[in-house]
Amino acid sequence: MVRSVLAGFGGYLPANRVTNDDLARRVETSDAWIRERTGIEARHFAAEGELTSDLATAAARAALADAGLDAQAVDLIVLATATPDQTFPATAVRVQAALGCRPGTPAFDVQAVCSGFLYALGVADSMVKAGLARTALVIGAETFSRILDFNDRTTCVLFGDGAGAVVLQASEAEGGLEVPGIHSVHLHADGRHQGLLYVDGGPSSTRTVGVVHMQGREVFRHAVNNLHAVVVEALAAHGLTPADLDWLVPHQANQRILDGTARKLEIDPARVVSTVAQHANTSAASVPLALSVARADGRLKRGDLIALEALGGGFTWGAALVRL
Protein backbone atom coordinates (compact mmCIF):
# COMPACT_ATOMS: atom_id res chain seq x y z
CA MET A 1 0.00 0.00 0.00
CA VAL A 2 1.24 3.49 -0.87
CA ARG A 3 1.12 6.29 1.71
CA SER A 4 2.16 9.95 1.52
CA VAL A 5 4.83 10.94 4.02
CA LEU A 6 5.34 14.58 5.03
CA ALA A 7 8.95 14.91 3.91
CA GLY A 8 9.49 18.68 4.18
CA PHE A 9 7.96 21.80 5.72
CA GLY A 10 8.30 25.46 4.77
CA GLY A 11 6.74 28.79 5.61
CA TYR A 12 6.95 32.39 4.53
CA LEU A 13 5.70 35.64 6.07
CA PRO A 14 5.89 39.01 4.31
CA ALA A 15 8.41 41.40 5.87
CA ASN A 16 5.80 43.98 6.85
CA ARG A 17 4.78 43.14 10.46
CA VAL A 18 1.72 45.03 11.67
CA THR A 19 1.10 45.17 15.42
CA ASN A 20 -2.24 45.80 17.07
CA ASP A 21 -1.04 49.30 17.93
CA ASP A 22 -0.22 49.89 14.24
CA LEU A 23 -3.78 48.85 13.37
CA ALA A 24 -5.23 51.04 16.12
CA ARG A 25 -3.79 54.05 14.30
CA ARG A 26 -5.90 53.11 11.27
CA VAL A 27 -9.04 51.61 12.82
CA GLU A 28 -11.01 52.34 16.01
CA THR A 29 -9.64 49.46 18.08
CA SER A 30 -7.04 48.76 20.75
CA ASP A 31 -4.27 46.30 21.51
CA ALA A 32 -6.10 45.29 24.71
CA TRP A 33 -9.39 44.46 22.91
CA ILE A 34 -7.71 42.42 20.17
CA ARG A 35 -5.48 40.48 22.59
CA GLU A 36 -8.27 39.71 25.01
CA ARG A 37 -10.81 38.59 22.39
CA THR A 38 -8.47 36.81 19.98
CA GLY A 39 -4.96 36.34 21.42
CA ILE A 40 -3.58 38.12 18.35
CA GLU A 41 -0.63 40.48 18.86
CA ALA A 42 0.56 41.02 15.29
CA ARG A 43 0.11 39.92 11.69
CA HIS A 44 2.06 40.34 8.46
CA PHE A 45 0.71 42.16 5.41
CA ALA A 46 2.12 41.67 1.92
CA ALA A 47 3.74 44.72 0.32
CA GLU A 48 2.16 46.39 -2.68
CA GLY A 49 2.86 44.16 -5.67
CA GLU A 50 3.74 41.15 -3.48
CA LEU A 51 1.29 38.47 -4.61
CA THR A 52 -0.06 35.22 -3.20
CA SER A 53 2.10 33.33 -5.74
CA ASP A 54 5.23 35.11 -4.41
CA LEU A 55 4.44 34.02 -0.84
CA ALA A 56 3.57 30.51 -2.03
CA THR A 57 6.78 30.19 -4.05
CA ALA A 58 8.92 31.21 -1.07
CA ALA A 59 7.18 28.70 1.22
CA ALA A 60 7.46 25.95 -1.41
CA ARG A 61 11.20 26.61 -1.85
CA ALA A 62 11.69 26.32 1.91
CA ALA A 63 9.72 23.04 2.03
CA LEU A 64 11.72 21.56 -0.86
CA ALA A 65 15.00 22.59 0.82
CA ASP A 66 13.81 20.99 4.08
CA ALA A 67 13.07 17.77 2.18
CA GLY A 68 16.45 17.93 0.42
CA LEU A 69 14.78 18.02 -3.02
CA ASP A 70 14.89 20.38 -5.97
CA ALA A 71 11.99 21.60 -8.06
CA GLN A 72 12.67 19.00 -10.75
CA ALA A 73 11.57 16.27 -8.35
CA VAL A 74 8.05 17.68 -8.00
CA ASP A 75 5.36 15.90 -10.00
CA LEU A 76 2.24 17.56 -8.55
CA ILE A 77 1.35 20.97 -7.08
CA VAL A 78 -1.92 21.54 -5.23
CA LEU A 79 -2.33 25.06 -3.86
CA ALA A 80 -5.08 26.19 -1.51
CA THR A 81 -6.06 29.85 -1.60
CA ALA A 82 -9.09 32.12 -1.42
CA THR A 83 -6.99 35.06 -2.62
CA PRO A 84 -5.50 33.98 -5.97
CA ASP A 85 -3.33 36.36 -8.01
CA GLN A 86 -5.92 36.30 -10.79
CA THR A 87 -9.27 34.64 -11.50
CA PHE A 88 -7.23 32.41 -13.80
CA PRO A 89 -4.75 30.89 -14.41
CA ALA A 90 -4.50 29.05 -11.13
CA THR A 91 -1.90 30.46 -8.70
CA ALA A 92 -0.36 26.95 -8.63
CA VAL A 93 0.61 27.33 -12.30
CA ARG A 94 2.45 30.56 -11.54
CA VAL A 95 4.26 28.83 -8.67
CA GLN A 96 5.20 25.93 -10.96
CA ALA A 97 6.84 28.35 -13.41
CA ALA A 98 8.53 30.41 -10.66
CA LEU A 99 10.01 27.30 -9.04
CA GLY A 100 11.27 25.96 -12.38
CA CYS A 101 9.43 22.64 -12.10
CA ARG A 102 9.39 20.33 -15.11
CA PRO A 103 6.94 21.69 -17.71
CA GLY A 104 3.92 19.41 -17.76
CA THR A 105 3.83 18.93 -13.99
CA PRO A 106 0.13 19.09 -13.00
CA ALA A 107 -0.68 22.18 -10.92
CA PHE A 108 -4.04 23.50 -9.77
CA ASP A 109 -5.77 25.46 -7.01
CA VAL A 110 -8.25 24.29 -4.40
CA GLN A 111 -10.67 26.74 -2.77
CA ALA A 112 -12.14 25.90 0.62
CA VAL A 113 -11.08 29.13 2.39
CA CYS A 114 -9.59 28.45 5.85
CA SER A 115 -9.87 24.67 5.45
CA GLY A 116 -8.34 24.84 1.97
CA PHE A 117 -5.07 23.26 3.10
CA LEU A 118 -6.90 20.22 4.54
CA TYR A 119 -8.80 19.86 1.24
CA ALA A 120 -5.57 20.27 -0.78
CA LEU A 121 -3.84 17.70 1.42
CA GLY A 122 -6.73 15.26 0.91
CA VAL A 123 -6.63 15.69 -2.87
CA ALA A 124 -2.84 15.36 -3.10
CA ASP A 125 -2.80 12.35 -0.74
CA SER A 126 -5.49 10.62 -2.83
CA MET A 127 -3.46 11.25 -6.01
CA VAL A 128 -0.31 9.85 -4.42
CA LYS A 129 -2.25 6.78 -3.24
CA ALA A 130 -3.70 6.37 -6.75
CA GLY A 131 -0.19 6.34 -8.23
CA LEU A 132 -0.64 9.68 -10.03
CA ALA A 133 2.25 11.40 -8.23
CA ARG A 134 5.23 10.46 -6.05
CA THR A 135 6.44 13.90 -4.92
CA ALA A 136 3.75 16.52 -4.34
CA LEU A 137 3.90 20.09 -3.14
CA VAL A 138 0.85 21.04 -1.07
CA ILE A 139 0.71 24.77 -0.42
CA GLY A 140 -1.59 27.12 1.48
CA ALA A 141 -1.07 30.79 0.62
CA GLU A 142 -3.10 33.94 1.19
CA THR A 143 -3.01 37.71 0.87
CA PHE A 144 -6.15 38.21 2.96
CA SER A 145 -5.20 41.85 3.58
CA ARG A 146 -6.45 42.51 0.03
CA ILE A 147 -10.02 41.50 0.89
CA LEU A 148 -10.29 43.13 4.32
CA ASP A 149 -12.64 46.03 4.96
CA PHE A 150 -10.59 48.43 7.08
CA ASN A 151 -13.84 50.18 8.03
CA ASP A 152 -15.06 46.99 9.73
CA ARG A 153 -13.13 46.60 12.97
CA THR A 154 -14.89 43.33 13.78
CA THR A 155 -13.12 41.55 10.88
CA CYS A 156 -10.03 43.50 9.77
CA VAL A 157 -8.12 42.89 13.02
CA LEU A 158 -8.38 39.10 12.69
CA PHE A 159 -6.48 38.24 9.52
CA GLY A 160 -2.94 38.27 8.11
CA ASP A 161 -0.99 37.22 5.03
CA GLY A 162 1.41 34.29 4.69
CA ALA A 163 2.14 30.93 3.12
CA GLY A 164 3.05 27.44 4.23
CA ALA A 165 3.94 24.31 2.27
CA VAL A 166 4.61 20.63 2.77
CA VAL A 167 6.28 18.10 0.48
CA LEU A 168 4.52 14.74 0.25
CA GLN A 169 6.51 11.72 -0.83
CA ALA A 170 5.14 8.32 -1.70
CA SER A 171 6.21 5.52 0.66
CA GLU A 172 5.63 1.78 0.40
CA ALA A 173 6.53 1.09 4.05
CA GLU A 174 4.32 -1.72 5.40
CA GLY A 175 2.52 -1.47 8.72
CA GLY A 176 -0.22 0.28 10.67
CA LEU A 177 -0.47 3.57 12.50
CA GLU A 178 3.16 3.35 13.60
CA VAL A 179 4.29 3.91 10.00
CA PRO A 180 4.96 7.53 8.94
CA GLY A 181 2.41 9.07 6.60
CA ILE A 182 -1.07 10.52 6.24
CA HIS A 183 -3.36 7.89 7.77
CA SER A 184 -6.68 9.53 6.94
CA VAL A 185 -8.23 12.81 5.84
CA HIS A 186 -11.82 13.71 6.77
CA LEU A 187 -13.55 16.51 4.85
CA HIS A 188 -16.97 18.13 5.26
CA ALA A 189 -19.00 21.08 4.02
CA ASP A 190 -22.40 22.59 4.83
CA GLY A 191 -23.45 25.26 2.34
CA ARG A 192 -26.49 26.26 4.40
CA HIS A 193 -24.16 28.47 6.43
CA GLN A 194 -22.53 30.34 3.55
CA GLY A 195 -24.08 33.64 4.74
CA LEU A 196 -22.21 33.62 8.06
CA LEU A 197 -18.76 34.16 6.52
CA TYR A 198 -18.21 35.26 2.94
CA VAL A 199 -16.66 37.74 0.55
CA ASP A 200 -19.25 39.56 -1.52
CA GLY A 201 -18.77 39.76 -5.26
CA GLY A 202 -16.87 37.66 -7.76
CA PRO A 203 -16.46 37.17 -11.51
CA SER A 204 -19.88 35.59 -12.05
CA SER A 205 -21.95 37.95 -9.89
CA THR A 206 -20.41 41.41 -9.84
CA ARG A 207 -17.15 41.05 -11.80
CA THR A 208 -15.44 42.69 -8.83
CA VAL A 209 -13.89 41.29 -5.66
CA GLY A 210 -15.56 42.34 -2.41
CA VAL A 211 -14.52 42.21 1.22
CA VAL A 212 -14.86 39.79 4.14
CA HIS A 213 -18.21 39.74 5.99
CA MET A 214 -18.66 37.68 9.12
CA GLN A 215 -21.09 36.99 11.93
CA GLY A 216 -18.37 36.32 14.49
CA ARG A 217 -20.37 34.77 17.32
CA GLU A 218 -22.14 32.28 15.07
CA VAL A 219 -18.87 31.37 13.38
CA PHE A 220 -17.27 30.83 16.78
CA ARG A 221 -20.02 28.42 17.90
CA HIS A 222 -19.93 26.35 14.70
CA ALA A 223 -16.13 26.31 14.70
CA VAL A 224 -15.71 24.77 18.15
CA ASN A 225 -18.50 22.21 17.64
CA ASN A 226 -17.47 21.09 14.14
CA LEU A 227 -13.75 21.04 14.88
CA HIS A 228 -14.30 18.91 17.98
CA ALA A 229 -16.52 16.51 16.01
CA VAL A 230 -14.14 16.11 13.08
CA VAL A 231 -11.08 15.48 15.27
CA VAL A 232 -13.06 12.86 17.23
CA GLU A 233 -14.12 11.33 13.88
CA ALA A 234 -10.52 11.19 12.62
CA LEU A 235 -9.32 9.54 15.82
CA ALA A 236 -12.25 7.13 16.10
CA ALA A 237 -11.54 5.90 12.55
CA HIS A 238 -8.37 4.38 14.03
CA GLY A 239 -9.78 3.38 17.43
CA LEU A 240 -8.00 6.31 19.12
CA THR A 241 -8.94 9.09 21.53
CA PRO A 242 -7.43 12.58 21.93
CA ALA A 243 -5.12 11.20 24.65
CA ASP A 244 -3.27 9.25 21.94
CA LEU A 245 -2.17 12.41 20.12
CA ASP A 246 1.26 13.95 20.55
CA TRP A 247 0.10 17.25 19.02
CA LEU A 248 -2.97 18.99 17.72
CA VAL A 249 -2.06 21.44 14.93
CA PRO A 250 -5.20 23.51 14.40
CA HIS A 251 -6.19 26.22 11.98
CA GLN A 252 -5.14 29.45 13.70
CA ALA A 253 -8.41 31.44 13.72
CA ASN A 254 -8.12 32.87 17.18
CA GLN A 255 -6.86 31.70 20.55
CA ARG A 256 -10.34 31.38 22.03
CA ILE A 257 -11.37 28.91 19.31
CA LEU A 258 -8.14 26.97 19.89
CA ASP A 259 -8.75 26.91 23.65
CA GLY A 260 -12.45 26.03 23.29
CA THR A 261 -11.67 23.13 20.94
CA ALA A 262 -8.84 21.82 23.13
CA ARG A 263 -11.08 22.00 26.22
CA LYS A 264 -13.88 20.09 24.49
CA LEU A 265 -11.39 17.46 23.30
CA GLU A 266 -9.81 17.37 26.79
CA ILE A 267 -6.38 17.94 25.25
CA ASP A 268 -3.70 19.64 27.33
CA PRO A 269 -3.26 23.17 25.84
CA ALA A 270 0.51 22.54 25.98
CA ARG A 271 -0.06 19.89 23.25
CA VAL A 272 -1.74 22.39 20.90
CA VAL A 273 0.47 24.28 18.45
CA SER A 274 -0.49 27.95 18.49
CA THR A 275 0.99 30.61 16.21
CA VAL A 276 -2.03 32.91 16.10
CA ALA A 277 -0.44 35.54 18.36
CA GLN A 278 2.17 36.39 15.74
CA HIS A 279 0.45 35.39 12.48
CA ALA A 280 -3.27 36.13 13.13
CA ASN A 281 -5.60 34.13 10.86
CA THR A 282 -3.83 33.40 7.57
CA SER A 283 -6.71 31.25 6.28
CA ALA A 284 -5.42 28.37 4.10
CA ALA A 285 -1.82 29.16 5.07
CA SER A 286 -2.32 28.78 8.81
CA VAL A 287 -1.97 25.00 9.25
CA PRO A 288 1.15 24.55 7.05
CA LEU A 289 2.67 27.70 8.60
CA ALA A 290 2.05 26.31 12.08
CA LEU A 291 3.56 22.98 10.98
CA SER A 292 6.70 24.68 9.67
CA VAL A 293 7.14 26.79 12.82
CA ALA A 294 6.63 23.85 15.19
CA ARG A 295 8.91 21.62 13.12
CA ALA A 296 11.66 24.26 12.99
CA ASP A 297 11.53 24.98 16.75
CA GLY A 298 11.74 21.27 17.57
CA ARG A 299 8.25 20.73 18.97
CA LEU A 300 7.20 18.35 16.18
CA LYS A 301 9.48 15.33 15.95
CA ARG A 302 9.68 12.39 13.60
CA GLY A 303 7.43 9.64 14.96
CA ASP A 304 4.89 12.03 16.53
CA LEU A 305 1.21 11.34 15.95
CA ILE A 306 -0.53 14.60 15.08
CA ALA A 307 -4.00 15.76 14.10
CA LEU A 308 -4.53 18.72 11.78
CA GLU A 309 -7.89 20.51 11.71
CA ALA A 310 -9.52 23.57 10.15
CA LEU A 311 -12.88 25.23 9.53
CA GLY A 312 -13.64 28.01 7.09
CA GLY A 313 -16.32 29.87 5.17
CA GLY A 314 -18.99 27.74 3.55
CA PHE A 315 -18.80 26.18 6.05
CA THR A 316 -16.06 23.77 5.07
CA TRP A 317 -14.07 21.81 7.64
CA GLY A 318 -11.80 18.85 7.99
CA ALA A 319 -9.11 16.98 9.88
CA ALA A 320 -6.19 14.71 9.07
CA LEU A 321 -4.37 12.14 11.17
CA VAL A 322 -0.65 12.02 10.41
CA ARG A 323 2.36 10.12 11.74
CA LEU A 324 5.42 12.30 11.17
Told to check if 324 binds ligand ACO by CB under 6 A, we report no
Amino acid at 90: A
Q: How far is the CB of 84 from ligand ACO (least distance, A)?
A: 18
Active centre residues (catalytic): 114, 251, 281
Q: Tell which positions 202-221 bind ligand ACO, by CB under 6 A.
A: 214, 216-217, 219-220
Told to check if 285 binds ligand ACO by CB under 6 A, we report no
Pairing of strands 107-110, 76-80: parallel
Q: How far is the CB of 187 from ligand ACO (least distance, A)?
A: 15
- Closest to ligand ACO by CB, 6 vs 158, is 158
- Closest to ligand ACO by CB, 57 vs 226, is 226
Over the window 162 to 181, marking each residue x when it contacts ligand ACO by CB under 6 A and - when it does not, the resulting string is --------------------
Q: CA-CA distance, 37 to 289, in Å (whole number)?
A: 22
Pairing of strands 3-12, 161-171: antiparallel
Q: CA-CA distance, 229 to 243, in Å (whole number)?
A: 15
Q: CA-CA distance, 153 to 165, in Å (whole number)?
A: 30
* Number of residues that this document lists for the chain: 324
Q: How far is the CB of 263 from ligand ACO (least distance, A)?
A: 15
DSSP-derived secondary structure for 107-172: EEEE--GGGHHHHHHHHHHHHHHTTS-SEEEEEEEEEGGGG--TT-HHHHTSB-EEEEEEEEEEE-
Told to check if 148 binds ligand ACO by CB under 6 A, we report no
Over the window 237 to 276, marking each residue x when it contacts ligand ACO by CB under 6 A and - when it does not, the resulting string is --------------x-xx-xx-------------------
- Closest to ligand ACO by CB, 169 vs 274, is 274
Told to check if 198 binds ligand ACO by CB under 6 A, we report no
Q: Are 145 and 44 in contact (CB under 8 A)?
A: no
> Is the peptide bond prior to 88 cis by the omega test (within 30 degrees of 0)?
no
Q: How far is the CB of 111 from ligand ACO (least distance, A)?
A: 15
- Closest to ligand ACO by CB, 16 vs 154, is 154
Told to check if 29 binds ligand ACO by CB under 6 A, we report yes
Q: Which of 145, 274, 281, 316 binds ligand ACO (CB under 6 A)?
A: 281
Task: Classify 157 as helix, strand or coil.
Answer: coil
Q: CA-CA distance, 321 to 4, in Å (whole number)?
A: 12
Q: Are 253 and 315 in contact (CB under 8 A)?
A: no
Q: CA-CA distance, 204 to 84, in Å (whole number)?
A: 16
Q: CA-CA distance, 121 to 165, in Å (whole number)?
A: 10
Burial pattern 62-79, b for ≥16 Cβ within 10 A else e, equals bbbebbebebebbbbbbb
**Residues binding ligand ACO: number (CB under 6 A):** 25
Q: Which of 64, 93, 120, 158 binds ligand ACO (CB under 6 A)?
A: 158
- Closest to ligand ACO by CB, 255 vs 292, is 255
Q: Which of 62, 78, 133, 197 binds ligand ACO (CB under 6 A)?
A: 197
Provide the binding-site residues for ligand ACO, judged by CB under 6 A: 29, 33-34, 37-38, 114, 153-154, 157-158, 197, 214, 216-217, 219-220, 223, 251, 253-254, 256-257, 281, 311-312
